[in-house]
């Protein structure tokens, strides 16, 4: 079960990410629709409130007289309770025609159990009267004036967009305001005000409110986005850690295999030499004893070097390694290293040295080890010719070590500087090593204030950059 989960962790993480993103998208869409409907409702309320305010002010200017009287119900007026009295609200309005002026009177009946109706009851009758009066009298609407009332309500509701108005009666256009047929007006709503005359319709046209709706729910969207990014980052970081641990486990196993292979040889040789002294030198021949001891000493020295290399890695990661810098002629230092290495190899090593002397403050011991490591790697894994170039440019010292080998795969280029990492070779041990050389070289160069990198060439070229003070 653990193996199944470990081998399919990428699928689990991908599934979790998709579910998380899907939930957040669904939540944001639902929230957007809710905010959009809320905004449309706000527009509708502001629209109707502006119309009501317009008609209320209009009604006040049209009513010429009003009075309230109490009297017993007449014989022709039915009443459910003879004890109830009838309060009559009477108003007179002026209606003008093309020929003459006429006055019409309207009476509104209202029953009450009390002889003296309350103020609120009278106000309700007045509002009802105003609506009926305006509905009967008004045939047209002053849309620009009504727009001022709507603007006032829009400001109060914090609505800041242009709009158009269209007033129709009996499906015929009576008047319009700010070109309601413009394409920019993507939405429309119809007034629900009871003040409008019968068989008439007043429509409000307004632009797309997409960005306005997004602004309303921006905080929720940002929180959702941050939450989603945090979850996705955490999951992929977990995947990165798992893969890193898996890679470290592979490197560890490979390192243990390499170390075991390297340690077996000197231990086996020393054991054989001691066994030869014990069993095959019964006559205590000095020459034979000396030969066995020399072989043992040679391989014990090699064993000591292996242990020192392993211990070096722990020192490199701490501040215990202190460089002893001194001004050195790099040309002579590199030439000296090449001469020592050339003795033990048949491959050609070319050094393109500069005409001028290049001096730099370096730790001679560690810097020479870096040069030796790079040349040694070129001899082990490169072609038949190694080329070394040294020059200065833009206040920097540039040192390159290039070989004519087949190069390193792109997938392995960044990993070769990791501690204990070796390019996979199907568990073959054609060349000895622990994956420490390049890690050591880069660490030393960084401590010198420079960089060591593998250039993206077809051939394998290592480039050292150091600060240069002429």
Mean pLDDT of 47-60: 86
pLDDT at position 193: 87
pLDDT at position 286: 79
Mean pLDDT of 308-314: 68
Lowest mean pLDDT among 209-213, 362-366, 392-396, 457-461: 457-461
Phi and psi at residue 218, to the nearest 5°? -65, -40
Question: How far is it, in rounded angstroms, from Cα 470 to Cα 328?
Answer: 13
- Rounded to the nearest angstrom, the gap between the alpha carbon of residue 239 and the centroid of all alpha carbons in its chain is 17
Q: What is the dihedral of CA 91, 96, 97, 99, to 10 degrees?
A: 120
pLDDT at position 98: 40
Instruction: State in words which class domain 322-467 has.
Output: alpha beta
More confident residue, 98 or 445: 445
Closest alpha carbon to 91 in 67, 59, 61: 67
pLDDT over 90 (residue 1): no
pLDDT at position 87: 46
Closest alpha carbon to 333 in 371, 361, 386, 388: 371
More confident residue, 226 or 5: 226
Question: How far is it, in rounded angstroms, from Cα 227 to Cα 225?
Answer: 5
Q: Which two tokens stand for residue 41?
A: 């409702």
Antiparallel, parallel or unpaired: β 348-352 and 385-393 = parallel
pLDDT at position 96: 41
pLDDT over 60 (residue 104): no
pLDDT over 70 (residue 409): yes
Could you report the per-residue pLDDT of 286-295, keeping only the tens digit for each?
A: 777 888 788 8
Phi and psi at residue 92, to the nearest 5°? -120, 130
Sign of the torsion angle spanned by Cα atoms 453, 459, 460, 462:
negative
pLDDT over 90 (residue 427): no
pLDDT at position 341: 87
- Sequence ranges of the domains in the chain: 160-211, 213-316, 322-467
Mean pLDDT of 265-289: 77
Q: Which two tokens stand for residue 409?
A: 């795969």
pLDDT at position 122: 58
More confident residue, 382 or 339: 339
Closest alpha carbon to 150 in 136, 139, 134, 161: 161
pLDDT at position 346: 86
What's the chain's average pLDDT? Answer: 78
More confident residue, 219 or 43: 43
Could you report the per-residue pLDDT of 121-148, keeping only the tens digit for each?
A: 555 655 555 555 554 445 568 899 999 9
Instruction: State in words which class domain 213-316 has.
Output: mainly alpha
pLDDT at position 455: 84
Closest alpha carbon to 321 in 407, 436, 443: 443
pLDDT over 80 (residue 253): no
Residue 49 — pLDDT band, cuts 50, 70, 90? very high
Residue 433 — pLDDT band, cuts 50, 70, 90? low
Q: Give pTM, 2 decimals.
A: 0.47
Could you report the per-residue pLDDT of 192-226, keeping only the tens digit for each?
A: 988 888 888 999 999 988 888 888 888 888 888 89
Helix (H, G, I), strand (E, B) or coil at 207: coil
Mean pLDDT of 339-356: 87
Residue 395 — pLDDT band, cuts 50, 70, 90? confident
pLDDT at position 113: 52
More confident residue, 430 or 378: 378
pLDDT over 70 (residue 76): no
- Report the 10 Å Cβ neighbour count for 435: 20
Burial of 11-38, coded b for 16+ CB within 10 Å and e otherwise, reads eebeeeeeebeeebeeebeebbeebbee
């Amino acid at each position: 079960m653990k193996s199944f989960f470990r081998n399919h962790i990428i699928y689990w993480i991908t599934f979790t990410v998709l579910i998380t993103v899907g939930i957040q998208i669904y939540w944001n869409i639902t929230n957007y629709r809710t905010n959009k409907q809320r905004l449309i409702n706000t527009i509708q309320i502001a629209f109707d409130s502006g119309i009501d305010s317009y008609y209320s002010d209009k009604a006040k200017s049209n009513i010429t007289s009003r009075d309230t009287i109490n009297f017993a119900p007449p014989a022709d007026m039915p009443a459910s309770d003879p004890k109830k009295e009838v309060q009559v609200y009477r108003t007179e309005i002026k209606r003008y025609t093309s020929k003459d002026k006429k006055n019409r009177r309207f009476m509104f009946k209202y029953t009450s159990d009390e002889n003296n109706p309350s103020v609120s009851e009278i106000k309700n009758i007045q509002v009802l009267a105003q609506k009926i009066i305006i509905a009967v009298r008004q045939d047209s609407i002053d849309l620009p004036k009504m727009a001022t009332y709507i603007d006032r309500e829009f400001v109060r509701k914090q609505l800041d967009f242009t709009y158009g108005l269209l007033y129709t009666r009996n499906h015929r256009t009576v008047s319009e305001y700010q070109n309601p047929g413009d394409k920019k007006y993507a939405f429309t709503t119809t007034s629900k005000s009871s003040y409008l005359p019968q068989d008439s319709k007043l429509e409000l046209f307004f632009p797309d409110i997409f960005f306005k709706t997004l602004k309303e729910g921006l905080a929720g969207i940002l929180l959702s986005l941050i939450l989603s990014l945090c979850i996705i980052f955490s999951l992929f970081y977990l995947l990165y850690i798992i893969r890193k641990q898996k890679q470290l486990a592979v490197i560890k196993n490979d390192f243990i295999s390499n170390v075991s292979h390297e340690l077996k040889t000197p231990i086996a040789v020393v054991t054989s030499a001691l066994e030869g002294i014990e069993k095959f030198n019964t006559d205590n021949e000095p020459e034979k004893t000396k030969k066995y001891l020399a072989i043992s000493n040679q391989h014990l020295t090699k064993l000591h070097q292996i242990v020192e290399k392993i211990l070096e890695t722990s020192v490199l990661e701490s501040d215990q390694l202190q460089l002893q810098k001194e001004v050195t002629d790099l040309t002579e230092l590199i030439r000296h290293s090449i001469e020592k290495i050339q003795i033990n190899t048949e491959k050609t090593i070319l050094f393109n040295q500069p005409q001028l002397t290049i001096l730099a403050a370096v730790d001679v011991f560690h810097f020479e080890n870096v040069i030796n490591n790079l040349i040694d790697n070129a001899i082990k894994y490169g072609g038949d010719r190694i080329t070394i170039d040294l020059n200065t440019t833009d206040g920097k010292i540039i040192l390159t070590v290039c070989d004519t080998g087949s190069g390193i795969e792109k997938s392995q280029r960044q990993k070769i500087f990791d501690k204990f990492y070796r390019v996979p070779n199907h568990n073959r041990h054609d060349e000895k090593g622990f994956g420490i050389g390049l890690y050591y070289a880069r660490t030393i160069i960084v401590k010198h204030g420079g960089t060591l990198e593998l250039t993206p060439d077809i051939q394998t070229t290592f480039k050292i950059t150091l600060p240069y003070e002429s």
